[in-house]
């Protein structure tokens, strides 16, 4: 039976809505509809809806019936609540300023009281925090994130304005990490357009630019990145600012707008080195490598690659491709590596570079039919993901092959597809 003190706290005006959200959240988690749960606890569905929206108080008998089905098991500890909100804000600051130390500190502190947070009146906010730190904290994996995202999505109608804004931002990152770019962009657009908190709008705008960059809508990406950069500059948010600038520079290189790029790359490398931003520094080096490749300065590209420590499939592709362009198949073959599905199942570039390396290997070693098959797989993968540079590489080699075999109709059809991809990337 529920204790009177707990019932009194739940029925206070400032707590009724939070309790209603908990009922709605747990109902979603237990796969009940409003009517099925109302029938199970012997309440009218209209009355249960009022409880879920905080429009009415709950009696001891109704609480006990809900507890028997949903296992409410609530506790209230106001000192723990203050502690939760302190680390919740630290988590948000870690996201806002791209501060991994703050993110990790907040995650560790929140997890210390995981069981109590999951049975508290701020349960919904805690699950929002779990959704956030699962997606924003690198190299950490938390169980149940798919269920958390699903359950929170089902209760978005009863969330407060700050809660649903965070939900759309955090769920957008979840969808982005799961390579669901269409739903990611929808969530980020909602957070950006309707967010009342500046850090949410700025972060969502940055991620919109990021998603468009991943889907190779490069000028459109830069429009959003420019707006995010302006907000980050005004807020003196130097870390988010640098990440946005690095991404914008990469877009400009792919588009071919390379004026002043060398100066930008130099400034970005200095910043990343001085702040020990290893992953950012790697992205800058890869941008610099592509810049030299597009200028056909393959020795300069290889010189940059010699300094890279994080050897991804993309790294090996750039090395092998640079040697191939120098007509050195022996060196190109030295950079062929095996890429497996397990390395990163959600990163599309891993799959593209698996086939790109296989194409180079076939070009240097195989008979014509094996080379064409490998090139076709590379071309199809690059085109399906509209990876602009890789598509251009595969297209050039395939057109040369088709023309050498006098398959002019196929070459023409392929050129039409390439024109469409170029329009998407550059317009």
Q: Cβ-count burial of 193 within 10 angstroms (0-12 exposed, 13-18 middle, 19+ buried)?
A: exposed
SS3 88: helix
Mean pLDDT of the chain: 89
Q: Which two tokens stand for residue 271?
A: 């910043």
Say which range, 128-142, 198-212, 315-329, has the weakest mean pLDDT: 128-142
Confidence at residue 141, expressed as pLDDT on a 0 to 100 scale: 52
1 confidence band (pLDDT: 50, 70, 90): low
328-367 per-position pLDDT tens digit: 999 999 999 887 765 554 556 777 888 999 999 999 987 6
Reference 287, options 268, 271, 273; nearest CA is 268
Chain CA centroid to CA 380, Å: 24
Q: Is 356 left (phi over 0), alpha (psi -120 to 50) or beta?
A: alpha
Instruction: Say which DSSP state 157 is in.
Output: G
Q: 3-class secondary structure for 174-198?
A: HHHHCCCHHHHHHHHHHHHHHCCCH
Question: Tokens for 54?
Answer: 């905080």
pLDDT band at 139 (very low <50, low <70, confident <90, very high): very low
Q: What is the mean pLDDT of residues 96-102?
A: 86
pLDDT digits (tens, 9 = 90+) for 417-426: 999 888 877 7
pLDDT of residue 341: 61
Return the minimum-mean-pLDDT range out of 12-26, 136-150, 204-218: 136-150
Question: What whole-number distance in Å separates Cα of residue 347 and Cα of residue 385?
Answer: 11
């Amino acid at each position: 039976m529920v204790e009177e003190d707990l019932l009194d706290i739940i029925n206070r005006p400032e707590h009724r809505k939070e309790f209603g959200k908990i009922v709605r959240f747990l109902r979603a988690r237990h796969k009940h509809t409003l009517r099925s749960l109302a029938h199970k606890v012997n309440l009218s569905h209209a009355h249960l809806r009022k409880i879920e929206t905080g429009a009415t108080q709950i009696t001891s008998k109704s609480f006990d019936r809900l507890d028997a089905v949903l296992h409410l098991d609530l506790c209230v500890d106001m000192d723990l609540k203050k502690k939760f909100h302190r680390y919740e804000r630290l988590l948000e600051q870690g996201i806002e300023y791209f501060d991994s130390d703050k993110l990790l500190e907040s995650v560790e502190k929140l997890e210390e009281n995981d069981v109590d947070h999951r049975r508290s009146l701020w349960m919904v906010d805690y699950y929002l925090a779990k959704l956030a730190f699962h997606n924003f904290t690198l190299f950490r994996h938390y169980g149940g994130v798919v269920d958390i995202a699903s359950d929170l999505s089902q209760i978005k109608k009863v969330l407060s304005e700050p809660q649903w804004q965070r939900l759309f931002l955090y769920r957008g990152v979840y969808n982005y990490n799961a390579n669901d770019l269409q739903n990611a962009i929808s969530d980020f657009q909602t957070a950006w357009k309707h967010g009342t908190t500046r850090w949410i709008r700025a972060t969502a705008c940055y991620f919109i630019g990021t998603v468009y960059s991943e889907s190779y809508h490069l000028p459109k990406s830069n429009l959003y990145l420019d707006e995010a950069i302006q907000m980050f500059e005004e807020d003196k948010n130097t870390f988010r600012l640098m990440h946005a600038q690095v991404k914008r520079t990469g877009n400009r290189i792919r588009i071919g707008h390379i004026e002043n790029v060398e100066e930008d790359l130099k400034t970005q490398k200095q910043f990343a080195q001085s702040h020990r931003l290893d992953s950012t520094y790697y992205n800058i080096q890869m941008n610099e490598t592509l810049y030299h490749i597009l200028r056909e300065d393959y020795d300069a590209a290889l010189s940059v690659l010699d300094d890279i420590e994080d050897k991804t499939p993309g790294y090996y592709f750039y090395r092998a491709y640079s040697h191939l362009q120098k007509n050195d198949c022996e060196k190109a073959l030295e950079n062929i590596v095996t890429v497996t599905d397990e390395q990163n199942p959600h990163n599309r570039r891993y799959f593209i570079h698996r086939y790109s390396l296989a194409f180079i290997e076939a070009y240097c070693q195989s008979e014509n039919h094996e080379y064409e098959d490998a090139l076709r797989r590379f071309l199809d993968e690059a085109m399906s993901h509209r990876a602009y540079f890789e598509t251009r590489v595969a297209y050039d080699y395939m057109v040369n092959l088709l023309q050498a075999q006098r398959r002019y109709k196929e070459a023409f059809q392929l050129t039409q597809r390439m024109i469409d991809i170029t329009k998407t990337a550059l317009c």
